[in-house]
A and B are shown apart, each in its own frame.
Chain A
Amino acid sequence: MATVSPSSKENIPFQGSDTTFKLNTDSQPASKKRKISPTGPSNSQPSQPSFADVLQRLKDEAGESKDAEGGADSWARPPLPPINPKRDSIIFQQIDIEDSVDQQTGGTTLRMFGVTQDGHSVLALVTDFLPYFYIATPRGFSNEDAGPFQRHINNILGYGAVRHVELTTKRSLWGYRGDDWVSFVKITVIDQRSIPKRGECKFNGLFETDVATFESNIAYTLRFMIDTRVVGMNWIEVPAGKYSLLEGKAKKSHCQIEFTVNWDQFVSHAPDGQWSKTAPLRILSFDIECAGRKGIFPEPHIDPVIQIANMVTRQGESKPFIRNVFTLNSCAHIVGSQVLSFTDEAELLVRWREFIEEVDPDVIIGYNISNFDFPYLLDRARALKASKFPYLGRIANKPTVTKDTHFSSKAFGQRDSKETVLDGRLQIDILQYMQREYKLRSYTLNSVCAHFLGEQKEDVHHSVITELQNGTPESRRRLAVYCLKDAYLPQRLMDKLMCFINYTEMARVTGVPFNYLLARGQSIKVLSQLFRKANDDGYVVPALKGEGSDEQYEGATVIEPKKGYYDVPIATLDFSSLYPSIMMAHNLCYTTLLDKATVDRLGLVRDVDYVQTPNNDLFVKSSRRKGLLPTILEDLISARKRAKADLKKETDPFKRAVLDGRQLALKISANSVYGFTGATIGKLPCLAISSSVTAYGRQMIEKTKQEVEAEYCIANGHDHDATVIYGDTDSVMVRFGPTDLPTVMRLGSEAADFVTGKFIKPIKLEFEKVYFPYLLISKKRYAGLYWTRPEKYDKMDTKGIETVRRDNCRLVSTVIETCLHKLLIDRDVKAAEEYVKQVISDLLQNRIDMSQLVITKALAKADYAAKQAHVELAERMKQRDAGSAPALGDRVAYVIIKGIKGAAAYEKSEDPIYVLENNIPIDTKYYLDNQLSNPLMRIFEPIMGDKANSLLSGDHTRTIQIATPTVGGLMKFAVKTVTCLGCKTPLRPNNSVKGGAVCNNCRPRLGELYQKQVTSASELQVRFSRLWTQCQRCQGSLHQDVLCTSRDCPIFYMRKKAQKDVEDANAVLDRFEDELW
């Protein structure tokens, strides 16, 4: 089969680089997450109405009049009734607090933004709250010295930075030094900048050495929130007569209600009961489109913003009440949404800003808005000299700017990003949320939607966007519909995943401002709680110098797994909230940490006054002092119990969502305390605590193993000897022996109670589930059917096997998943083997769909030190066609092709489209050896033993089909020879007719060969039809060409291949026409 078709012209207009140009970050989000199951394949692809239809439906449901299509008449907030400061108290939900320095007075004010129950926006200017910090009182320093000390410092600094100095009695959080209270100097300063940053100060030579400071490293706004007991997103009540209303010119913001209030004159409601509600916040979801040039990532100083689509929803409502799109140049009408067309781009931008001001959203969401949309809009406005544009916040006349931020967190890795502060408005970049909360194969909007919403999204490449823009009002309408959809999807994702509610509850539980949750790491949340609790109990928190240390401590070890395939029920015993309960049980805390000197000084007795942990750290017992962390944990756990109990009773779906979000936030908070103490670059690392926790954990797992094995043995009258086959962090897997589920479940729960009795409260071992069958591969790698009731299994559970790693191709996870399904659910080893062989055979015969073989990587930086496949490919593609080559930030998709012998993998990467077009052979051996073989061996070895190798060699690997490339080195010199379709003999003039199909010897079989060829061509033709008509349906138009270039869509490469294959097959079919029949 060496027929070569003329060089293919693309059917889809562009085959260029990756489509979702906005995404460029790799991340490793935290590990333990509540799972939101992706929409299963059974109902995953409902027949999707086109998005234009969706818009129309939204409109139908809103019942809008003709003139107000897309909510054109509901931009403004509800009008404000007059307020009498003498009689009316103001109650609002605060959403954001920020500090600002008054230009005139130099004083610091806090701005508290919020929304009332009736949807009016509020700005409370909180006055007279001053930042402060502590130092340990120097020896001999008395109350009389306070005044001179203050004057001295102010003299040195040259201005009245210090407002007040006083002596207080407090205790340091760090370490147990007896129960005495100690004197501290509290130094109150005029603004935050005057606070020593580095955790020590010298007072300019007043003292000989640096003096350690306390509580100097906490942000001013957080200080304020802690002191006034304000938590993120809670309700604030300002009583009548305690505030003064600002009106007219005095107003600093666009908020409807603006007033000043003294910092101690308002009531902060704890977010419980009636105060757990949420105000009708306005949520804007938007998306912009830019007209890029071919092959160049849009640059704001050149490429115009052509469309901005907006969807505004009130929190708690399911449908957006404003839907519109701002377009450059005319755009045909879109039912259900308002179209605002402009001829001038600057005017478009300015008008959009006015829209923002009028709609006044409280929350702004979008997909990658932080790193793309906002910076782009601002840069573009600057390029256009649209000086009125950059005022997107709520503060009047305060320009919006973008800052570069560097985010580094142990849990989330390092990330450079941009931040655009919009005063008084919350931001959720759904992309960042996804990267933080979910571990996915790909974070393109398309694949995220496919995963969570079960929909494929039409994806238009950015170079096509320019063409559509330069077309007709219809083509721009098409673009606008696409843009509107992109604006709507973040909102739908947010609703589906309950992002907003869960984050609100997280802010409330941990007490940090909402905006911290995406912008900051885990530790700030623990720190906020620690400060709150510490200050209540009279502790002051030392400001440690933030010095990173690489000190490692031993993590949770595991009981060495007894690998194998277990065809009997395996009971799993879990310690519930292991680390929190260890900290509670052994009173591990900063405040209880002892050193040898203190033990000696106070004459403490081991095991009476204090304990020595397995890590040889000393902590006092709770009888001497109850630790702060254990108290915090107890509060969190009991609060979670309450929330869960309420959740059971609650029937209102919205309140249920809130409660569920809360219990989740509480659980995460409790679990992150341990990590906080171990975070060596954090604010308050204490390895004595974290190492002791893990040491206890190890001990407990070991002990559980001993106890269970000692108790459940034949010697004790049981039918079998129980064995612990594996144990990890907080769970042990026990093989009790019996083969029926109910017995094992009974034994499991007995054993859990039995072992629990051996530990200190509140440590609790729970029996949760039974795995049956169970495939234990190695440490942290296992799979099994998960049973909680004896009647039916709940699910198939896998750990460490299902590779979502993106440097694996999709084939791996498909094959592994299918095998596990066959092994565990169907329990048919033969079928699994057959399946693997079939796949390998298909792979070697080049019959695996390309999308299964594609590997993607983000092209993040321009120069990598080491050569990498995707970087090399991007470079090569640039040389071939700069227009379609992936730009920085694009995801590069590639496959590994056959190369010269011994070539490195990075030399063998190639663009999948190029491969399809030029028939380049895939390096199937690479896929077999480097991708499939290890995972397959891992799961089959425990079952088949040494025979597992037979999967990778044997009959099914004997037939190999290699495509004949049309490009590349040697092919220039190769002469294409046509071979006989019957016997593969090269056809020459002396053994066949010109252009024929077969050699003379095979001519009698012509009919048969023709039928074969026509059958296979027919399959390909049908494939072609099915795939392309599906794309037509997905895009919602019959009369327009399919433009979508979504590489995440499972049929993207398939349809391309179908096109190619069908032409090849037809070309072969044509040879029969020239044949002598």
Chain B
Amino acid sequence: MAVIDPIPTPSVPLTRPSTTVVTPPDSASFLIGSNDKSYRHQYSNIYFVRLRALRQHVEQQAQRKWSGVAGNPVFVPRVLDVEKGKLCFVIGTVYMEMPLKPNVLEDIARDRSIPAPPPREKYYSDSDSVTLEDESGRICLVGSRVTSTCLVTGVILGALGIETHTGDFEVVDLCYPGMAPQPTAGLEWPSWKVSDEIMDVDGTAPQVSDECIALVSGLEIGSLDAADGQLQLLAEYLTGEAGGLGEQSQSSCISRLIIAGNSFAPIDTSKGESERRSRKYGQEVPFSPHPTQALSAYLTDICRSLSVHLLPGPLDPAATILPQQPIPRAMFGGPSHYANFSSESNPTYINVSPSREPPSTSRTSQPGASSSKANGHVEKVDAVRSILVHSGQPLDDMFKYVPTPPITRMALAEATLRWRHIAPTAPDTLWCHPYFAKDPFVIPETPDIYVVGNQPAFATKLVSDDGSADGEEGSPKRCRIVLVPNFRQSGVLVLVNMRTLDVRRVQFAMQGMSAGGGET
């Protein structure tokens, strides 16, 4: 970012596209309503609801997939009713028996209190076994088909196979619910600026002028160590104050910023703390107002310019248990006064549609803007992009279940779409709220964009499913998966084009500092 001598100014003032948020239906909400607050239920209800919700989809898929298989496999509705030596298929919940899973009893035996479990890198070991369970009981799945597949506890699947003489179920093939329907798939997102002379000047590809949303996670603002240059650059970029015209026009396409977790710097709980604690016998939670203030100030700057969605993450001052509830907006002071600042739950659906308000002047001045949908049809077409975001915990937890290599985080993220479930390991190893009558992590509709925050590295993939297998009507389903890396370490901001679902990465780095400049 060298100094540019004459500061060019655009001939037409840059404006941002304006989008509106469509409230997702209640069923897709992760807010814990007053009916669901109780902790008197056990976790079996979640499994029950999950199995009931997904079983039919698996069965449809399985019937289609295996009806032609030689031996005419029959569907056995209860796992325990499987007959020996007969090819059949069953549907149930996967349970992974893993000796390395954290065990409370062990912890208690060790020091008689419940400390946070020492984080294990992996639960995976050679002595794991895979079982399939329904209301009636459990059966052990064996065979190379099972061992070579990426599976975690809580996945609902169908298994085709034969019960062996030892009572195990030798699996021939597996089948998942498959990607959920995607009503938004066929809706076309309008272009915003098609051709602009400025763009021509720069010779930049036309798609930059499509609306984008920006994704970032792991800002960790407010750590006491250093005022961070990267963060400053990010803010300047987002508000259109940085760089030249190119950058500015690029950032002007950004309609919203989604911050997927870990925005607060973790409170330093190093040695000084433990010493103090040992002397004080009262119940004191360390508190420093600094991160909150710093973050508030930071967000205030950005909110002036664009809409911000903030999700709590694993390190933020929110409950650990999923779904994490929105941090009260009031806590943020400054940005809480802006209507375009939303404090979201984690995970959350953010459904965005192009503004239906009278187009701004700059928009009307572009006659070709939506030529395909002429005659004011623009207003009627409810183009919606549904964005599913979470701050990474489900993926991090699932990642412990599987061997790496070969299974990558991206593969797991993709698998969750086909499982129609974003957090199957909840509640087994991923702490989650004891829901009674619903399992909010079941994916009712495939989102257009699926964002996972706080990942070690950036990755993206467009997953598609032609939908023919479903026999469901509509356009082919596709979903853009983005694994957003931790900003403090990577300096990466991700832009997703709302029309094409293309992804761009913007990297911020200070000179003389490595990408992970924040850390020394």
Cβ distance B424 to chain A, nearest Cβ, rounded Å: 11
Asked if B101 contacts A60 (CB within 8 A), the reply is no
Asked if A1018 contacts B104 (CB within 8 A), the reply is no
Interface-lining segment among B17-25, B61-69, B278-286: B278-286
* B220 touches A (CB below 8 Å): no
Asked if A1038 contacts B167 (CB within 8 A), the reply is no
Interface-lining segment among B144-152, B315-323, B483-491: B315-323
Q: Which residues of B contact A456 (CB under 8 A)?
A: 105
Q: What string of 1s and 0s marks CB contacts (under 8 Å) between B396-413 and chain A?
A: 000000000000000000
Asked if B44 contacts A1030 (CB within 8 A), the reply is no
Cβ distance B103 to chain A, nearest Cβ, rounded Å: 6
User: Whole-angstrom distance between the alpha carbons of A78 and B321 in the complex?
Assistant: 60
* A646 touches B (CB below 8 Å): no
Asked if A11 contacts B42 (CB within 8 A), the reply is yes
User: Whole-angstrom distance between the alpha carbons of A1039 and B330 in the complex?
Assistant: 40
* A420 touches B (CB below 8 Å): no
Asked if B287 contacts A1011 (CB within 8 A), the reply is yes
Q: Which residues of B contact A47 (CB under 8 A)?
A: 97-101, 103
Interface-lining segment among A109-117, A332-340, A491-499, A522-530: A332-340
* B328 touches A (CB below 8 Å): yes
Interface-lining segment among A715-723, A876-884, A885-893, A1058-1066: A1058-1066
Q: Which residues of A contact B44 (CB under 8 A)?
A: 1032, 1037-1042
Interface-lining segment among A38-46, A135-143, A145-153, A789-797: A38-46
List the B residue with the shortest CB-CB distance to A1024.
B39
Most chain A CB within a 10 A radius of its CB, from B103, B105, B285: B105
Interface-lining segment among A379-387, A764-772, A861-869, A1002-1010: A1002-1010
List the A residue with the shortest CB-CB distance to B131.
A53
Asked if B431 contacts A1041 (CB within 8 A), the reply is no
Asked if A1039 contacts B40 (CB within 8 A), the reply is no
Query: Chain B: how many interface residues by the 8 Å CB criterion?
Result: 73
Asked if B292 contacts A1027 (CB within 8 A), the reply is no
User: Whole-angstrom distance between the alpha carbons of A959 and B279 in the complex?
Assistant: 13
**Contact A59:B166 (CB < 8 A) given known A47-B98, A1037-B133, A1041-B44:** yes
Cβ distance B417 to chain A, nearest Cβ, rounded Å: 23
Asked if A1025 contacts B432 (CB within 8 A), the reply is yes
Interface-lining segment among B108-116, B196-204, B228-236, B470-478: B108-116
User: Whole-angstrom distance between the alpha carbons of A849 and B113 in the complex?
Assistant: 8
Asked if A1007 contacts B292 (CB within 8 A), the reply is yes
Most chain B CB within a 10 A radius of its CB, from A8, A1021, A1072: A1021
Asked if B431 contacts A1030 (CB within 8 A), the reply is no
User: Whole-angstrom distance between the alpha carbons of A60 and B241 in the complex?
Assistant: 71
* B106 touches A (CB below 8 Å): yes
Asked if B97 contacts A56 (CB within 8 A), the reply is no
Checking A50, A336, A1033, A1051 against B108 with a beta-carbon cut-off of 8 angstroms, the contacting residue is A1051
Which of chain B's residues 407-447 have a Cβ closer than 8 Å to chain A? 427-429, 431-434
User: Whole-angstrom distance between the alpha carbons of A332 and B82 in the complex?
Assistant: 12
List the A residue with the shortest CB-CB distance to B128.
A47
**Contact A1063:B281 (CB < 8 A) given known A332-B80, A1021-B431, A1039-B48:** no
Which of chain A's residues 1010-1033 have a Cβ closer than 8 Å to chain B? 1010-1012, 1014-1019, 1021-1030, 1032-1033
Interface-lining segment among B134-142, B302-310, B494-502: B134-142
Interface residues on A, range: 35 or more
Most chain A CB within a 10 A radius of its CB, from B40, B44, B117, B137: B137
Checking B40, B51, B116, B136 against A8 with a beta-carbon cut-off of 8 angstroms, the contacting residue is B40
Q: Which residues of A contact B37 (CB under 8 A)?
A: 1066, 1070
Which of chain A's residues 944-981 have a Cβ closer than 8 Å to chain B? 955-956, 958-959
* B41 touches A (CB below 8 Å): yes
User: Whole-angstrom distance between the alpha carbons of A1050 and B108 in the complex?
Assistant: 8
**Contact A1038:B137 (CB < 8 A) given known A956-B281, A1007-B289:** no
User: Whole-angstrom distance between the alpha carbons of A959 and B282 in the complex?
Assistant: 6
Asked if B134 contacts A1039 (CB within 8 A), the reply is yes
**Contact A1017:B109 (CB < 8 A) given known A959-B282, A1059-B40:** no
Checking A10, A1039, A1040, A1063 against B51 with a beta-carbon cut-off of 8 angstroms, the contacting residue is A1039
Q: Which residues of A contact B292 (CB under 8 A)?
A: 1007, 1011
Asked if B104 contacts A1051 (CB within 8 A), the reply is yes
* B176 touches A (CB below 8 Å): no
**Contact A1039:B47 (CB < 8 A) given known A1017-B319, A1021-B431, A1030-B103:** yes
Checking A834, A956, A1012, A1063 against B38 with a beta-carbon cut-off of 8 angstroms, the contacting residue is A1063
* B341 touches A (CB below 8 Å): no
* A155 touches B (CB below 8 Å): no
Q: Which residues of B contact A1040 (CB under 8 A)?
A: 44, 135
Asked if B103 contacts A1010 (CB within 8 A), the reply is no
User: Whole-angstrom distance between the alpha carbons of A1031 and B45 in the complex?
Assistant: 14
Asked if A66 contacts B137 (CB within 8 A), the reply is no
Asked if B330 contacts A1006 (CB within 8 A), the reply is yes
Cβ distance A1017 to chain B, nearest Cβ, rounded Å: 6
Which of chain B's residues 81-112 have a Cβ closer than 8 Å to chain A? 81, 84-85, 93, 95, 97-106, 108-110, 112
Q: Which residues of B contact A477 (CB under 8 A)?
A: 80, 136-137
Checking A847, A1014, A1030, A1051 against B319 with a beta-carbon cut-off of 8 angstroms, the contacting residue is A1014
* B336 touches A (CB below 8 Å): yes
* B76 touches A (CB below 8 Å): no
Asked if B165 contacts A66 (CB within 8 A), the reply is yes
Asked if A1050 contacts B105 (CB within 8 A), the reply is yes
Cβ distance A1023 to chain B, nearest Cβ, rounded Å: 6
Asked if B136 contacts A45 (CB within 8 A), the reply is no
List the A residue with the shortest CB-CB distance to B123.
A47
List the B residue with the shortest CB-CB distance to A45.
B105
User: Whole-angstrom distance between the alpha carbons of A444 and B80 in the complex?
Assistant: 32
Asked if B112 contacts A45 (CB within 8 A), the reply is no
* A739 touches B (CB below 8 Å): no
User: Whole-angstrom distance between the alpha carbons of A50 and B97 in the complex?
Assistant: 10
* B187 touches A (CB below 8 Å): no
Q: Which residues of B contact A474 (CB under 8 A)?
A: 80, 135-137
* A49 touches B (CB below 8 Å): yes
* B458 touches A (CB below 8 Å): no
* A638 touches B (CB below 8 Å): no
Q: Which residues of B contact A1039 (CB under 8 A)?
A: 44, 47-48, 51, 93, 133-135
Q: Which residues of A contact B135 (CB under 8 A)?
A: 474, 1039-1040
Asked if A11 contacts B331 (CB within 8 A), the reply is no
List the B residue with the shortest CB-CB distance to A817.
B112
Q: Which residues of A contact B117 (CB under 8 A)?
A: 1026
Q: Which residues of B contact A8 (CB under 8 A)?
A: 40
Asked if B47 contacts A1063 (CB within 8 A), the reply is no
**Contact A959:B281 (CB < 8 A) given known A66-B84, A1039-B135:** yes
Asked if B102 contacts A1026 (CB within 8 A), the reply is yes
Cβ distance B490 to chain A, nearest Cβ, rounded Å: 27
Additional A-B contacts beyond A1037-B133, A1039-B48, A1050-B109 (4; CB < 8 A) = A60-B166, A959-B282, A1025-B431, A1026-B117
Closest 8 CB pairs of A and B: A1077-B330, A1025-B431, A841-B281, A41-B109, A45-B105, A335-B167, A1021-B321, A60-B166
| 21 A–B contacts, CB within 8 A, in A order | A9-B40, A50-B138, A53-B131, A56-B140, A56-B167, A336-B167, A474-B80, A477-B80, A477-B136, A845-B282, A847-B283, A849-B113, A1018-B320, A1018-B321, A1021-B431, A1029-B43, A1033-B428, A1038-B44, A1038-B133, A1039-B134, A1059-B39
Residues of A whose CB lies within 8 Å of any CB of B are 8-11, 41, 44-47, 49-50, 52-53, 56, 59-60, 63, 65-66, 332-333, 335-336, 456, 474, 477, 814, 834, 837-838, 841, 845, 847, 849, 852, 955-956, 958-959, 1006-1008, 1010-1012, 1014-1019, 1021-1030, 1032-1033, 1036-1042, 1050-1051, 1054, 1059, 1062-1063, 1066, 1070, 1072-1073, 1075, 1077
Residues of B whose CB lies within 8 Å of any CB of A are 37-44, 47-48, 51, 80-81, 84-85, 93, 95, 97-106, 108-110, 112-114, 116-117, 131, 133-140, 165-168, 278, 281-283, 285, 287, 289, 292, 317-321, 328-331, 336, 427-429, 431-434
